[in-house]
């Protein structure tokens, strides 16, 4: 009788309202391992940013739904301004076809402890360069959103020359990185560069600490050049440290930084080797993937539908910071600091802990602190020698169309190996 009552109540239950966020988000806990990247014929293409050139048509979306039933998902695309607010353009202004697409490519997982459906979608071409938000929703209901993800399309009408001269306080140079550059726009007519041009810089594909609307230092209209010298300290980037990592591409033979595996529980439970603060350690060089993650299965074939989801526990040995919040972040959770990513202090072990449900692979991560007095890198440290990947986005808003067009994209490796 109780089961019948629950079924009746579920029929009349008010559905949870989902509010679209113009950022990389999932809106249901069953949606996992979201990746939107530029597909290339090379190893590690899943690590590439969701940025492509006009007419390339090589962006791919992949994600898992931890339900063993196929859902009919649809995609629509929203054009955005440089600051990720929606533009006034109509769909026909930037799309060549009706703005609703079926996610037709899917496959069921095989012999996995948690069943799931893996979806794949090739992003359609757009007619204008700029910022775009891809939105996936269920059964044609645009309010039943399951995920949103940013991507950028650019044309190559500008060029960039990097200026490696440093400026600013000497004490900041040991922990920060500064980007100075000159943009050449001889191939495009720009009217009023101070008002119509916007520059955004992000570090390691992160939006949570990106620098928006960086103003030019000098404009040379006689030679069509704009110079950016980031004198202000708030335009510096904290260099940070090389990312921590864990390798559980194989559960039978776990890789580096995996402490132990419990196969008695379902799903399997993996403990990462306990971490400690690195703030007082000297810089140590080792390869990382700049905070990203990639899916790989070395146990029974490197197939997207054969990899298992496992509970992964992270431990940070540190004294309790009573007023601070510590978060476990990386590309795997879109750098979001919320209840799911917050580390909880266990007085019995004298350590912070957090458990995530993750798909087999290689993961970069770090611990960020949220406090009025402490640095976010309180446990990580910061060194100017750290290898980081930067991207400069150069936008121009003409009179027609009245929208920010991405007319320059420039990846920059600092301390590249």
Q: How many residues does the chain have?
A: 417
pLDDT at 230: 74
Cα gap 337→370, rounded to integer Å: 9
Q: For the chain, give the mean pLDDT.
A: 91
Q: What percent of the chain has pLDDT over 90?
A: 82
Q: What percent of the chain has pLDDT over 70?
A: 92
pLDDT digits (tens, 9 = 90+) for 356-378: 999 999 999 999 999 999 999 99
Cα gap 216→27, rounded to integer Å: 38
User: Which CA distances in Å does 136 have to 16, 103, 334?
Assistant: 17, 9, 17
pLDDT at 173: 63
Q: Assess whether pLDDT exceeds 80 at residue 79.
A: yes
Cα gap 386→142, rounded to integer Å: 43
Cα gap 141→72, rounded to integer Å: 10
> Which tokens go with 318?
């540190």
pLDDT at 229: 86
pLDDT digits (tens, 9 = 90+) for 384-407: 999 999 999 999 999 999 999 999
pLDDT band at 13 (very low <50, low <70, confident <90, very high): very low
Q: Assess whether pLDDT exceeds 90 at residue 21.
A: yes
pLDDT at 164: 67
pLDDT at 232: 65
pLDDT digits (tens, 9 = 90+) for 262-292: 999 999 999 999 999 999 999 999 889 999 9
CATH architecture label of 244-370? Sandwich (2.60)
| Residue 279 near residue 273 (C-beta atoms within 8 A) | no
pLDDT at 163: 77
pLDDT band at 234 (very low <50, low <70, confident <90, very high): low
| Residue 278 near residue 381 (C-beta atoms within 8 A) | yes
- Out of 2.60.40, 3.40.50, 3.30.1490, 1.10.10, the CATH code matching 159-239+388-414 is 2.60.40
Helix and strand numbers, DSSP H then E, in the chain: 3, 29
pLDDT at 241: 97
How crowded is the C-beta side of 140, counted as CA atoms within 13 Å?
Answer: 0
pLDDT at 304: 84
| Residue 283 near residue 267 (C-beta atoms within 8 A) | no
| Residue 248 near residue 254 (C-beta atoms within 8 A) | yes
pLDDT digits (tens, 9 = 90+) for 32-64: 999 999 998 676 789 999 999 999 989 999 999
Q: How many CB atoms lie within 10 A of CB 255?
A: 13
The H or E element containing residue 154 is strand 141-154
pLDDT at 68: 86
pLDDT digits (tens, 9 = 90+) for 86-96: 999 999 999 99
User: Which CA distances in Å does 34 have to 61, 76, 191, 294?
Assistant: 7, 17, 39, 11
The H or E element containing residue 194 is helix 193-196
More confident residue, 114 or 287: 114
Average pLDDT over residues 96-108: 96
pLDDT at 276: 97
- Out of 3.40.630, 1.20.1250, 2.60.40, 3.30.1380, the CATH code matching 2-154 is 2.60.40
**Domain layout of the chain by residue ranges:** 2-154, 159-239+388-414, 244-370
Q: Assess whether pLDDT exceeds 60 at residue 168.
A: no
73, β-bridge pairs = 138
The H or E element containing residue 311 is strand 309-317
pLDDT at 363: 98
Greatest Cα-to-Cα distance within the chain, rounded to the nearest angstrom: 82
> Which tokens go with 314?
């992270």
Please determine whether the domains at 159-239+388-414 and 244-370 fall in the same fold group of CATH: yes
Nearest Cα to Cα of residue 52 among 135, 159, 124? 124
Q: Is residue 91 helix, strand or coil?
A: helix
């Amino acid at each position: 009788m109780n089961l019948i009552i629950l079924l009746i109540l579920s029929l009349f239950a008010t559905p949870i309202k989902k509010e679209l966020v113009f950022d990389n988000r999932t809106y249901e806990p069953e949606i996992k391992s979201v990746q939107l990247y530029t597909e290339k014929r090379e190893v590690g293409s899943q690590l590439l940013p969701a940025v492509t050139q006009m007419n390339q048509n090589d962006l791919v979306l992949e994600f898992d739904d931890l339900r063993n039933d196929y859902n009919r998902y649809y995609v629509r695309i929203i054009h955005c301004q440089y600051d990720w607010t929606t533009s006034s353009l109509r769909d026909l202004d930037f799309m060549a076809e009706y703005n609703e697409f079926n996610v037709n490519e899917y496959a069921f997982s095989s012999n996995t402890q948690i069943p799931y459906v893996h979806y794949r979608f090739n992003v359609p071409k757009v007619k204008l360069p700029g910022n775009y938000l891809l939105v996936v929703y269920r059964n044609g209901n645009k309010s039943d959103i399951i995920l949103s993800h940013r991507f950028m399309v650019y044309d190559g009408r500008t060029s960039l020359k990097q200026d490696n001269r440093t400026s600013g306080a000497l004490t900041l140079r040991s922990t920060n990185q500064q980007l100075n550059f000159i943009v050449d726009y001889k191939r495009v007519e720009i009217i009023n560069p101070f008002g119509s041009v916007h520059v955004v810089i992000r570090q390691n594909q992160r939006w949570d600490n990106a620098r928006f609307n960086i103003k030019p230092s000098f404009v040379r209209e006689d030679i069509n050049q704009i110079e950016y010298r980031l004198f202000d300290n708030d335009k510096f980037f904290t260099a940070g440290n090389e990312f921590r990592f864990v390798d559980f591409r194989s559960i039978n033979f776990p890789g580096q930084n995996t402490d132990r595996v419990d196969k008695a529980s379902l799903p399997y439970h993996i403990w990462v080797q306990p971490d400690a603060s690195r703030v007082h350690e000297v810089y140590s060089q080792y390869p990382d993937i700049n905070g990203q993650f990639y899916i790989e299965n070395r146990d029974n074939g490197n197939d997207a539908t054969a990899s298992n989801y496992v509970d992964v526990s992270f431990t940070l040995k540190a004294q309790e910071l009573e007023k601070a919040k510590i978060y476990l972040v990386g590309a795997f959770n879109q750098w979001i600091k919320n209840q799911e990513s917050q580390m909880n202090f266990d007085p019995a072990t004298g350590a912070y802990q957090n458990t995530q449900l993750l798909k087999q692979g290689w993961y970069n991560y770090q611990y960020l602190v949220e406090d009025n007095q402490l640095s976010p890198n309180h446990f990580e440290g910061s060194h100017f020698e750290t290898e980081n990947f930067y991207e400069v986005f150069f936008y121009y808003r003409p009179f027609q169309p009245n929208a920010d067009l991405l007319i320059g994209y420039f990846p920059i490796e600092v301390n590249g190996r």
